[in-house]
């Protein structure tokens, strides 16, 4: 039986990711197309608690498909983790007669959404929005493709100067627990080595790899370091390598928060549109406590329970193997 949903709200929560705006646009317009009253919640769960809930129409989301960040703002909200905070949020939703919620964020956001649904019976659908690509149930998350493209553009520029001066660069990219950005960026930039949180790499092996490159007349070397690598970040690794390997002038670049910003790539805009469209259609069909994701280029549902219980941290073994072969 179809649920009687009249009012839906959308929020973005946790870390921001390029594509969130394109997704808000898709959610709002799909709702309006189906005759639903649409609302936006400002600053994630904090906005629910503070009653920062605004009506949205098709024009509220004009000209945002190409913008990074999120027009609804995002926040980390400790109060929502308490029962009192959740109850306050629910009172505000009820006051607006809101029946269902679309949340765009990472696993923290989904944990909050699941608890909220269980405590108050609010219907929720989650959309995976994180540059780390570390959520189970979707091959890709919003913002991941754009973040890789941002890293590639930066590393290409660094390669020019590294080459001109015969330098060895250690470039740190985001990914505390997930090496997804580092691995793909490494392949796409032709880096000499990549250090990932999932894989211990001995400094001796890394030096061996760099020595082979130097012996075969490589004029520069680039090592991509995931911020979550167990032996430390780019500065730590550079220090360890420099002690034993000084063929090159060594430099370090931390790419930092620029990886979160920027106009979403075509892939992220289309993914965001598909997931936003699917999220509202699923709510209208009666789904709840589900995440909409992409698997094998098809929209796929994963229960929030399952999405939160598992992690897709397994990096593709063929890509790992390839980085070694193609960097000789
Ligand atoms: P992400 O969604 O990117 O993983 P966070 O881990 O910061 O980001 O989570 C976003 C927000 O989700 C938190 O600030 C909090 O408001 C909410 N949240 C996280 N864990 C819980 C929880 N156990 N119970 C209720 N809300 C939670």
Q: Is 137 found in the same domain as 79? A: yes
Q: Of residues 16, 99, 132, 134, which has the active-site annotation? A: 132
Q: What is the total count of domains within the chain?
A: 2
Let me know whether 209 and 285 are in one domain. Answer: no
Does 318 fall in a domain?
no
Domain encompassing residue 45: 7-143+264-309
**Whether the CB of 45 sits within 6 Å of ligand 1:** yes
Please tell me if the CB atom of residue 134 comes closer than 6 angstroms to any atom of ligand 1.
Answer: no
Same domain? 220 vs 101: no
Distance 3 CA to ligand 1 centre (A): 28
115 lines ligand 1 (CB under 6 A): yes
Kindly indicate the confidence band of residue 311, based on its pLDDT and cuts at 50, 70 and 90.
low
* pTM, rounded to two decimals: 0.96
| 252 and 290 in a common domain | no
Q: From the CB of 282, is ligand 1 less than 6 Å away? A: no
**Same domain, yes or no: 76 and 36:** yes
Q: Note if 145 is an active site residue.
A: no
Give 168-179 pLDDT, tens digit per residue: 999 999 999 999
3-state secondary structure the chain: CCCCCCEEEEEECCCCCCCHHHHHHHHHHHHHHCCCEEEEECCHHHHHHCCCEEEECHHHHCCCCCCCCCCCCCCCCCHHHCHHHHHHHHHHHHHCCCCEEEEEECHHHHHHHHHHHHHHCCEEEEEEECCCCCCCCCCCCECHHHHHHHHHHHHHHHHHHHHHHCEEEEEEECCCCCCHHHHHHHHHHCCCEEECCCCCCCHHHHHHHHHHHHHCCCCCEEEEEECCCCCCCHHHHHHHHHHHCCCCEEEEEECHHHHHCCCCCHHHHHHHHHHHHHHHHHHHHCCCCEEEEEECCEEEEEEHHHHHHCCCCCCCHHHHHHHHHHCC
Q: If you average pLDDT over residues 65-73, what whole number do you get?
A: 98
The pLDDT value recorded for residue 312 is 56
| Closest residue to atom 12 of ligand 1, CA basis | 109
Ligand 1 midpoint to CA 85 (Å): 13
Q: What is the pLDDT of residues 8-56, one digit of tens each?
A: 999 999 999 999 999 999 999 999 999 999 999 999 999 999 999 999 9
């Amino acid at each position: 039986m179809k649920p009687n949903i009249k009012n839906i709200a959308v929020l973005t929560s946790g870390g921001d990711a390029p594509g969130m705006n394109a997704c808000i646009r898709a959610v709002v317009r799909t709702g309006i197309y189906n005759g639903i009253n649409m609302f936006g919640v400002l600053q994630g769960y904090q906005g629910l608690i503070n009653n920062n809930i605004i009506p949205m129409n098709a024009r509220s989301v004009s000209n945002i498909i190409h913008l990074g960040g999120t027009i609804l703002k995002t926040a980390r909200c400790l109060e929502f983790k308490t029962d009192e905070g959740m109850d306050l949020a629910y009172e505000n939703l009820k006051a607006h007669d809101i029946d269902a919620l679309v949340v765009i964020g990472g696993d923290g956001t989904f944990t909050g959404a699941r608890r909220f649904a269980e405590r108050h019976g609010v219907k929720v659908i989650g959309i995976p929005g994180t540059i780390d690509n570390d959520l189970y149930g979707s091959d890709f998350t919003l913002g991941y493709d754009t973040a890789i493209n941002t890293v590639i553009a930066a590393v290409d520029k660094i390669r020019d100067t590294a080459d001109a001066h015969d330098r060895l660069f250690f470039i740190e990219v985001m990914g505390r627990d997930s090496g997804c950005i580092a691995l793909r960026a490494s392949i796409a930039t032709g880096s000499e080595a990549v250090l990932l949180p999932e894989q211990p790499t001995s400094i001796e092996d890394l030096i061996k790899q760099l020595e082979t490159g130097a012996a075969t007349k490589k004029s520069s070397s680039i090592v991509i370091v995931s911020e979550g690598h167990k032996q430390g970040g780019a500065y730590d690794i550079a220090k360890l390598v420099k002690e034993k390997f000084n063929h090159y002038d060594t430099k370090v670049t931390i790419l930092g928060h620029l990886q979160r910003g920027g106009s979403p790539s075509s892939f992220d805009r289309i993914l965001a549109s598909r997931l936003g469209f699917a999220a509202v259609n699923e709510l209208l069909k009666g789904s709840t406590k589900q995440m909409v994701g992409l698997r094998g280029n098809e929209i796929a549902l994963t229960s929030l329970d399952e999405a939160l219980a598992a992690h897709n941290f397994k990096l593709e073994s063929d890509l790992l193997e390839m980085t070694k072969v193609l960097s000789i």
